[in-house]
Structure 1
Amino acid sequence: MNRSLLLPLLCLLLAACSHGAADDEGEAAAVQGQVAVTTATPVQQTFHDTVEAWGVAVGDPQHARAISLAHGGQVVALQVAAGQSVRHGQPLLTITPDPAARNAYRQAQSALELASGELKRTEQLAAQRLATQSQLASARKALADAQAALEAQRALGGGSAQETVSAPADGVVGTLSVGLGERFAANAPLLGFTPAHALVAQLGVQPEDGARLHIGMPVQLRSVYGNQAAFVGSLRMIGQSVDPQTHLLGAQVELPAEAGAALVAGAALEAQIRTADVTAWAVPRGAVLHDERGDYLFQLEHGHAKRVDVTLRSPAGDPVGVQGPLDAQAKVIVLGVYELADGDAVRESTR
């Protein structure tokens, strides 16, 4: 080939290579400083708004009772322990009445025998016209009063050497207030008793959630331990003061009858109180971040990340529900969001 033609051809080749290298450098410069992200389109959706709560199953204070006796005595036998399930009529404890009650019963017996004898003598005298009708009426009244006094002492336990206290219904012994051999006074509580199927859930909720709750809301409850099925109760009471120990607002849930077969008093519970449904933006869970200013996410606008502060309204599941000034036309950044700051340049990844 003619050398005069070879030289211009080499120059053209070198110029083409230099132009290609410049294009590669320009593309690299355009990508440099950008964060590769993936995005999702936010959509409006109706969420079931809930309030989380925790607590325990306890005896319903409207049905629980303290068993006591109208007379004093001494415990000579204990047939149950605290927390034990019992059947109707099952012996709980055995007591011997107070000596004073036994003495009062014997005195009432003597008074009845005396009044009975006096009535017979008065009737004989009246038959002989040696006693008036007024005296006869008084003797009959004295006998009736003596019979009533004896029945009262029998009801007070003085009529038997020992007395057995039995379960008034199927249920659970809550607490034992007396021990074996212990003496107790009249009307002193002996034990606490909760009838079967008379449990409620005593819950604690965050104080700021109290304004969202009202009586009658459905509550889904589940035992913290085990794989027991969930059941639905009804919100019965909302406290108006914060517990100084837990710093939570008290709430009480009425449990269905079938819960008594699955729960025992003291069982730990987790609950979801369903409040009013709410319309919010549905976004992937990974798109929502949190810092000292609260919850937020990033939207992609003109190649840059824009921070949008939001309120997390439905945190369960994926997607989650958020409320805030989102642009319906701008996509929400999902992957790569942890590397971003407000205003950073971003590009959508094709992978």
Structure 2
Amino acid sequence: MNALAGVIFHFIGGFASGSFYVPYKKVKGWSWESMWILGGLFSWIIVPPIAAWLTIPNFADIISNTDSSILGYTFLFGILWGIGGLTYGLGVRYLGVSLGSSVILGLSMVFGSLMPAVYYFFNKAEGKHGIDYFFTDKAGICVMIGLLVCVIGIYLCGKAGVLKEKSLGTLSSEAKSDYNFGLGIVVAIVSGVLSACFNFGIESGKPMADVANNLWKAANPNQGEFLYQNNVTYIVILWGGFTTNFLWCLYLLIKNHSFSDYTKSSAPLAKNFLLCAIAGTTWYLQFFFYGMGESRLGNGASSWILHMAFIILISNAWGIALKEWKGVSKPTYTAIIAGIATIIISICIVGFAKTLE
């Protein structure tokens, strides 16, 4: 039951992450930086402490009593992840929701799942798997197979993107708005590698989650692991993410004179503010449910792969729903559908791996 609950929680988190950019696409009359930083205030500053306060009333004490080196590394990985998140928005802008998310999150999935295992191979820690786990243990081998299958699905989604670019001349204006494969793929690669730092941040801040977990277990004996233990860690990681995004968006707001967007009479201000708030809150919910899934599956490769795979799956589904692939050739559409189907298979494989442990 723990494995099934973990998969369900990761699906909900993946749905939130794969859906968060949809409200942004409905914002009218604002520059990218205006809507991105407003949504970010909800994602990184407003919602995380509210969620932590509701689930871990003494979260501030846990943070204040944590060793400065732990806070420093967690914050640093948050900064690096913030660069990945910043370029994620640009990647989705230039490649579309489906292709952009597939490339970025696919790279993040590979790096985020394997790099901690490489670290723990050389620095042994109780409850952590080294990279040898994926080649010597039945469950680990199954996880690796699932990862490879997901990479194939990502390749098919990427292939669909290349085919889409070749057929731009026949696409509708809605489908090719802002589409720039060359620029988008470079941004996506940078974003994909750095986005994996969020998982590294969770690893670095694990002592804070452990304190929250132990306090809860002491008050609630024999009830398993604390579902919301990571909510305290997220606050520090997201401080780092906010720092990166705030500085960049502030630069763009000054450079492009975009501050006037917030008072622009020609823009639907109330609607735009609401959409950004919804987008930012939805973005945070991915972490909230990731933490719940991780409490059931563990913060290993399985959790990260499932989370990323579900995000890719939902992002591509939204891409089809938003008609980003409208008017493309039959081979292009077949490639994106095949990619989605392959990713679904990989999710099933990784979920099955947990039953072998």
Q: Which has the larger radius of gyration?
A: 1
Instruction: Place the TM-score, normalised by the shorter chain, in its bin.
Output: under 0.3
The alignment's TM-score, normalised by the length of structure 2, stands at 0.18
| Relative contact order, higher structure (CA 8 A, sep 6+) | 2
Structure having the higher helix fraction is 2
What TM-score do the two structures reach when normalised by structure 1? 0.19
